[in-house]
A and B are shown apart, each in its own frame.
Chain A
Amino acid sequence: MVAFIIRRIVQAFLVMFIISSIGFAIKHNVGDPVWQITGISVSKAERERIREQLGLNDPVYIQYINFLKNAAHGDLGQSYFYKKPAADVILDKAPATLELVLVSSMIIVVLSIPLGVYAAIYPKRIFSRVVMGGSIVGVSIPVFLIAIMGVYLFSVHLGWLPSFGRGATVNVGGWRTGFLTVDGWLHLILPSLSLSSIMLPLFIRLIRSEMMEVLESDYIRYAWAKGLKKYRIWFLHAFKNTLLPVITVGGVQLGITIAFTILTETVFQWQGLGFLFMEAVERSDTALLVAYLMFVGMIMVVVNTVVDIIYGVVNPTVRIAGTK
C-alpha cells in the first residue's frame, strides 16, 4: 500500500509537470495580454516596451524555465488583471466553486439514492417509470438551457430568486462563505440546481442499474431464501454493495463537475474558478490561466488517487498495481 501511494505521488508530480507544459503551450494562444492592459490609442512602440518589461519577448523556453523556477517556490506568476499573485486569486475564488459543488453534490446524494433505489426495487411502478423517464429527459437537456430557463422563470418572470452572483458573503478566516446568510443561500439555489441537473439523472440511473444488478445476484437470492426481512435485504445487503461502484464513478464525476462549473458559473456570474477561467481567457490573463489549469489538474489527480485507494481498501479483490 505504501509503495502504491508513493508511486502515485511520483506520478502526480509528473502529471502536474505535463499539465504545466500544456498550460504553458496554451497560454501563448489566448492572445496578447499587453493589448488588454493598455488603452487602444497607445502607440506600438510603447506597447513593445511593456512587452519587453514583462519578459514576453524572451524565447518561450526561457519563459518556461523561469516559470518552473518560480513555481517550485509556490509562485505561479502575477495575474495581469487582478494585479496580484495568481495563486492568491485562485485561492480567493476557490471557496465559491467548492461551496457550489458541495451543495450540488448534496442535492445529488439526497435525491439520487432514494430515487435510484426505489426505481430498482419497483422497476414496474408508475413512479419509477416517471423517475426514469424524467432522468433521461434530464440528461438530454443541455445545462445552459436549464440554467437560462431557470433564470427566466424564477428571477425575471416570478421574481422569487436572484439572477446572478453569490449575494452577501461572510469572511471566515479567509474563506468567504455564502452559507451563513439567508441571501447567500437564496443565491445558491438556482446555480446549484442547474449544476446538479447534469449529474443527478446520471446518478439515479447508475444507482438503479447497479442495485438491480446486485438484487439479481446469487447471494441476495440466498438472503430471500433464508427469509430475511425485505428492508434488511434491500438496505443492508443490496445497497451496501451498490455503493462501491457508485463511489468510484462519483469520485471521477466530482472532478468533472468542477470542470462543468464553467458553464453554470458563466450563466449565473458565479464568482468562482470556472468564471475566473473564462474571464482569464477573454482577458488573456495568461498567468492566471496556467494557475487555474494547475489547480484543477491537482484536484483531479488527488480525487483519482483517493478513489483508487478507497477502491483498493474497500474491495480487496481488486489488485492495486504495486502491492504484488
Chain B
Amino acid sequence: MTDRWQRFKKSALFHDFKGDKVAIVSFATLVLLFICAFSAPLIAPYNPYDSANIDIMSSEIPPVWMAGGTNDYLLGTDAQGRDLLSTMIYGMRISIIIGICAVALQAVIGIIIGLIAGYYGGKLDGFFMRLADVQLSFSYLMVAIFVSAVLQAAVGVGRFAEIAVPFLIIVIGLAQWPQYARTVRASVLAEKKKEYVEAARVTGFGAHRIMWRHILPNCMSPILVLSTIQVANAVMSEAALSFLGLGMPVTRPSLGSLINAGFEYIFSGSWWITAFPGVLLVILVLAVNLLGDFLRDALNPKLYKG
C-alpha cells in the first residue's frame, strides 16, 4: 500500500498536480464537500427528513444576516419551513450519490458495448452504434418517463419516493452510456492496430483476455477524463430532471429539486431558497470540471497515445 503511494508520489500526475494551484484548490473543495455530504447527520444542524423539525409556521425565514433572520437558521428556511443549510447538505449527498452511481452504471454499459463494438467491428459494431444513435435521440427525459412508468407499475405509486434514487441512477445511466461506448470504441479502434494486440493474438490469447487485460487498461485515460466530466453532467442532468418535475421527490430533495422548488419564489423576494443551493451546485460541478480539466491536461489522452 505504502509502496503504491510512494510510486504515485513520484508519478508525473502527482508532480503536475503539485504545480497546479487550481487543481489543488478544486480537489480540496471537492474533498471538503464530500466530507460534508457524507457526514451530513453529524454536521447538519437539523435532520430535514424528520418532520419534528419542520414547522410550516417558520417557512421562508431569511438568512441570519438579513432583517427577520434568526440564529436558529443560518441560511434561512425554505417554503416548507426546513432549515436550508441542513437540507442543502443532505441534498448534496443525494446529488453526489446519484452522480457517481449513474456514471458507474454508464461506464459499465458503455465500456462493455464500446469494447465489443470496437474489437469485433462489422455487423455487431453497426448494430451497437445505431443503438447509440437511438439512445441519443431519446434524451434522458424520455428515458425518465419510460423508466418511471415501468418502476411505478412494478412497486406501486406510493412507494415511489423510496426508489427515487435508484430510479434516477438508472435513468441517467441508461441515457448517457453512448458517450462511453463511443469513446471506448474509438480508443479500441486505435489500439487494435497496435503491435502488442497483434502479439497477444498471435500468442493465442482469447478475445476476452485481450479486450479486458490488454486493450482496456490502455484506454483508461480517456475513460478517466470522460468520467469526471460525466459526473458533472450527471449531477446537472439530475438537476434538469428535477427542474422538469421528474427528479427527486419534494420530501427528500436533491440540490436540483431544491433549486426547482425555490424558483417560484425568486420574484417574491425569497431568493435564498434557490440561490444557495444553486451556488452550491455550481461550486460542486465546477470543482469536478476543473479537476477533469486538470486530468485532461495532465494525462492528455490523445497525445499520450500518440
- Whether the Cβ atoms of A300 and B133 lie closer than 8 Å is yes
Query: In the complex, which residues of chain B have a beta carbon less than 8 angstroms from the beta carbon of A142?
Result: 236, 239-240, 243, 256, 259, 281
- Whether the Cβ atoms of B136 and A213 lie closer than 8 Å is no
A19 within 8 A of B: yes
Query: In the complex, which residues of chain B have a beta carbon less than 8 angstroms from the beta carbon of A263?
Result: 240, 243-244
Contact surface of A with B, Cβ cutoff 8 Å: 7, 11, 14-15, 18-19, 22, 25-26, 28-30, 136-137, 139-145, 148, 152, 156, 209, 213, 216, 252, 255-256, 259-260, 262-263, 266, 278, 281, 293, 296-297, 299-301, 304, 321
Query: In the complex, which residues of chain B have a beta carbon less than 8 angstroms from the beta carbon of A139?
Result: 232, 285, 289
Within 8 A of A (CB), among B254-277: 256, 259, 263, 266-267
Query: In the complex, which residues of chain A have a beta carbon less than 8 angstroms from the beta carbon of B290?
Result: 136
- Whether the Cβ atoms of A304 and B240 lie closer than 8 Å is no
User: Cα distance A321–B256 when bound, in Å?
Assistant: 43
- Whether the Cβ atoms of A145 and B278 lie closer than 8 Å is yes
User: Looking at the complex, which of B44-52, B118-126, B205-213 is the stretch in contact with chain A?
Assistant: B118-126
- Whether the Cβ atoms of A297 and B149 lie closer than 8 Å is no
Query: Which of A213, A255, A260 contacts B137 (CB under 8 A)?
Result: A255
Question: In angstroms, how far is the closest chain A Cβ from the Cβ of B200?
Answer: 23
Complex A-B: 14 CB contacts under 8 Å: A7-B126, A15-B130, A136-B293, A139-B232, A140-B282, A140-B286, A142-B243, A145-B282, A255-B136, A262-B244, A263-B240, A296-B137, A301-B137, A321-B121
- Whether the Cβ atoms of A14 and B282 lie closer than 8 Å is no
User: Cα distance A26–B144 when bound, in Å?
Assistant: 10
- Whether the Cβ atoms of A11 and B232 lie closer than 8 Å is no
Query: Which of A11, A152, A252, A266 contacts B244 (CB under 8 A)?
Result: A266
Query: Which of A30, A278, A297 contacts B134 (CB under 8 A)?
Result: A297
B25 within 8 A of A: no
- Whether the Cβ atoms of B138 and A22 lie closer than 8 Å is yes
B161 within 8 A of A: no
The answer to whether A293 and B142 touch (CB under 8 A), given A11-B126, A144-B243, is yes
B302 within 8 A of A: yes
B14 within 8 A of A: no
The answer to whether A15 and B133 touch (CB under 8 A), given A139-B289, A148-B263, A321-B121, is yes
Query: In the complex, which residues of chain A have a beta carbon less than 8 angstroms from the beta carbon of B136?
Result: 252, 255-256, 259, 300
The answer to whether A29 and B145 touch (CB under 8 A), given A296-B137, A321-B126, is yes
Query: In the complex, which residues of chain A have a beta carbon less than 8 angstroms from the beta carbon of B302?
Result: 213
Contact surface of B with A, Cβ cutoff 8 Å: 121-122, 125-126, 130, 133-134, 136-139, 141-142, 145-146, 148-150, 232, 236, 239-240, 243-244, 256, 259, 263, 266-267, 278, 281-282, 285-286, 289-290, 293, 296, 302-303
- Whether the Cβ atoms of A152 and B286 lie closer than 8 Å is no
User: Cα distance A238–B290 when bound, in Å?
Assistant: 27
Question: In angstroms, how far is the closest chain A Cβ from the Cβ of B285?
Answer: 4
User: Cα distance A293–B145 when bound, in Å?
Assistant: 13
Query: In the complex, which residues of chain B have a beta carbon less than 8 angstroms from the beta carbon of A156?
Result: 267
- Whether the Cβ atoms of B146 and A22 lie closer than 8 Å is yes
- Whether the Cβ atoms of B146 and A216 lie closer than 8 Å is no
Query: In the complex, which residues of chain B have a beta carbon less than 8 angstroms from the beta carbon of A15?
Result: 130, 133-134
| Nearest 10 pairs of A and B residues by beta carbon | A29-B149, A300-B137, A259-B139, A140-B286, A140-B285, A297-B137, A26-B146, A144-B243, A304-B133, A142-B239
Question: In angstroms, how far is the closest chain A Cβ from the Cβ of B127?
Answer: 9
Closest A residue to B255 using CB positions: A142
- Whether the Cβ atoms of B286 and A137 lie closer than 8 Å is yes
Query: In the complex, which residues of chain B have a beta carbon less than 8 angstroms from the beta carbon of A213?
Result: 302-303
Query: Which of B142, B244, B266 contacts A26 (CB under 8 A)?
Result: B142
User: Cα distance A266–B240 when bound, in Å?
Assistant: 12
Query: In the complex, which residues of chain B have a beta carbon less than 8 angstroms from the beta carbon of A145?
Result: 259, 278, 282
User: Cα distance A300–B136 when bound, in Å?
Assistant: 8
User: Cα distance A7–B125 when bound, in Å?
Assistant: 13
Query: In the complex, which residues of chain A have a beta carbon less than 8 angstroms from the beta carbon of B243?
Result: 142, 144, 263
Question: In angstroms, how far is the closest chain B Cβ from the Cβ of A152?
Answer: 7
Query: Which of B130, B137, B266, B286 contacts A136 (CB under 8 A)?
Result: B286
Q: A136-B289, A136-B293, A144-B239 are in contact. List 14 more A-B contacts (CB 8 A).
A: A137-B282, A140-B232, A140-B286, A142-B236, A142-B239, A209-B296, A259-B139, A263-B240, A278-B244, A293-B137, A297-B134, A300-B133, A301-B133, A301-B137
User: Cα distance A25–B138 when bound, in Å?
Assistant: 13
Of A28, A142, A296, the most chain B CB neighbours within 10 A belong to A142
Closest A residue to B232 using CB positions: A140
Closest B residue to A141 using CB positions: B282
